[in-house]
Amino acid sequence: MKKTFVFVFSFVAFLSCKDSKDKIFPQKRPLTESVYASATVQPDSLYQAYSIVMGILDKVWVEEGDTVAKGQQLLQITNTSPELNLKNAQLALQLARENYSGSAAVLNGIEDEIRAAELQLRNDSINYYRQKNLWDQNIGSKVEFDNRKLAYELAQNNYRLLKQKFNRTKNELATQLQQAENNYKTSMTNTKDFTIVSKIDGKVYAINKNPGEIINTVEPVAAIGRSDAFIIELLVDEVDIVKVRLGQKVYLTLDSYNSQVFEAKVNKIYPRKDPSSQTFKVEAVFVSPPDVLYPGLSGEGNIVIQEKEETLTIPKEYLIDDSKVLTDEGEREITIGLHNLDLVEVLDGLSEQTAIYKPEQ
């Protein structure tokens, strides 16, 4: 008797509960599944300009908002050390050239010694072979023959040593000259590095230092980017990044343009996740950009994953455990497909004539 009472009570409660719930029918309508992303507008090719040397900012040739050409001078940094190094390198190069090929070159002196040694060798050679012929005929003393032979051998050795000295000195001077030329080129480069130029045709978006301030190599001194093209940086949650593909549509709203919707397309997906925000960066480009854009404009984007012109849908709030709905016959299992923030697509389990009820929260 007790069990029957409980069953009847539950059935009555279910009927009364159903009557009190919102009753709707599935409807066919267009449905778009999208991925949400926060959006920031940035100039295309935006980069931070750094100095590769330390010094004092001397001159600023441009102002924020100026249009610049590739190679145009932006900032001048002063430092006396590179100029002094350049002068020292130039003096060292001149000395190395003079030593190698100038009128007072070291090699010229060695060549003079070689010529003198060659003459001495010829003279000692003549005297030696003349004395040898006499000695072979038993004419003359052995002491005189030995002296002529020793002088000849010494002359040969001296000539050979001078030739080796010439070749060795020539190689050393050539190496010193090459090193001096390299040092001079390096000093020239270091001097040029004190002038920062634009790497692109674009606009100056920021100047971070004022004349007289210290410039180092770790802080950017300016921001340069294109003035005629902007990109949209989208931050996508790691749960959704696997759904994003190149070429997908993006519907974008910007805070500066209220509820106006702009269309864009995904053109780049960065493979590295930002560990601090657990998001991936995706770039998109405008199909028809607004007339006025500024770096840093923020908004929201929806990357379209799939679209259907007509499909059976129900409100997402009518789902139970993500795969069931409440009907006149009780809970029913359904198969869902696309979904967005409000609607889900019903692939199987319901028809347009099936009434469903909103579950209790």
Q: Residue 36: phi, psi to the nearest 5?
A: -80, 145
Q: Does the pLDDT of residue 6 top 70, yes or no?
A: no
**Average pLDDT for 162-189:** 81
Q: So what's the pLDDT on residue 17?
A: 47
Q: So what's the pLDDT on residue 345?
A: 84
Q: CB of 186 within 8 A of CB of 82?
A: no
Proportion of the chain above pLDDT 70, given as a percent: 89
**Residue-wise pLDDT tens digits, 309-325:** 888 888 888 888 888 88
Q: So what's the pLDDT on residue 192?
A: 58
How high is the mean pLDDT of the chain? 84
In the chain, % helix, strand, coil (3-state, to 5) comes to 35, 35, 30
Q: Which of 25-34, 76-85, 312-321, 330-339 has the lowest mean pLDDT?
A: 76-85
**Average pLDDT for 31-52:** 90
| DSSP code of residue 323 | T
Q: Which of 103-117, 151-165, 167-181 has the lowest mean pLDDT?
A: 103-117
Q: So what's the pLDDT on residue 273?
A: 93
Q: So what's the pLDDT on residue 31?
A: 83
pTM of the model: 0.55
Q: Does domain 20-44+229-361 have CATH number 3.30.470.20?
A: no
Top pLDDT among 188 and 58 is at 58
Q: Which of 11-15, 132-136, 239-243 has the lowest mean pLDDT?
A: 11-15
| DSSP code of residue 28 | E
**Average pLDDT for 284-310:** 90
Cβ neighbours around 209 below 10 Å, total: 18
pLDDT band at 55 (very low <50, low <70, confident <90, very high): confident
**For the residues of 269-305, what is the DSSP string, one character each?**
EEEEEETTTTEEEEEEEESS--S---TT-EEEEEEEE
Q: Which of 102-111, 117-126, 141-150, 348-357 has the lowest mean pLDDT?
A: 102-111
Q: Cα torsion at 286, 287, 288, 292 (round to 10°)?
A: 10
pLDDT band at 358 (very low <50, low <70, confident <90, very high): confident
Helix (H) or strand (E) holding 108: helix 106-136
Q: Does the pLDDT of residue 11 top 50, yes or no?
A: no
Top pLDDT among 67 and 141 is at 67
Secondary structure class of 125 (helix, strand, coil): helix
pLDDT band at 5 (very low <50, low <70, confident <90, very high): very low
Structure tokens at 31: 């449905």
Q: Does the pLDDT of residue 155 top 60, yes or no?
A: yes
Q: So what's the pLDDT on residue 179?
A: 84
**Average pLDDT for 40-58:** 90
**For the residues of 177-220, what is the DSSP string, one character each?**
HHHHHHHHHHHHHHHHTTEEE-SSSEEEEEE---TTSEE-SSS-
| DSSP code of residue 59 | E
Which CATH number is 49-77+194-223's, of 3.40.50.720, 2.40.50.100, 3.20.20.100, 1.10.3720.10? 2.40.50.100
pLDDT band at 15 (very low <50, low <70, confident <90, very high): very low
Q: So what's the pLDDT on residue 218?
A: 92
Q: Which of 184-193, 244-253, 256-265 has the lowest mean pLDDT?
A: 184-193
Cβ neighbours around 152 below 10 Å, total: 21
Please enumerate in sequence order all residues whose Cβ is within 8 A of that of 144, keeping only pairs 6 or more positions apart, or say none. 131
Please enumerate in sequence order all residues whose Cβ is within 8 A of that of 168, keeping only pairs 6 or more positions apart, or say none. none
Q: Does the pLDDT of residue 212 top 80, yes or no?
A: yes
Q: So what's the pLDDT on residue 8?
A: 36
Q: Does the pLDDT of residue 154 top 70, yes or no?
A: yes
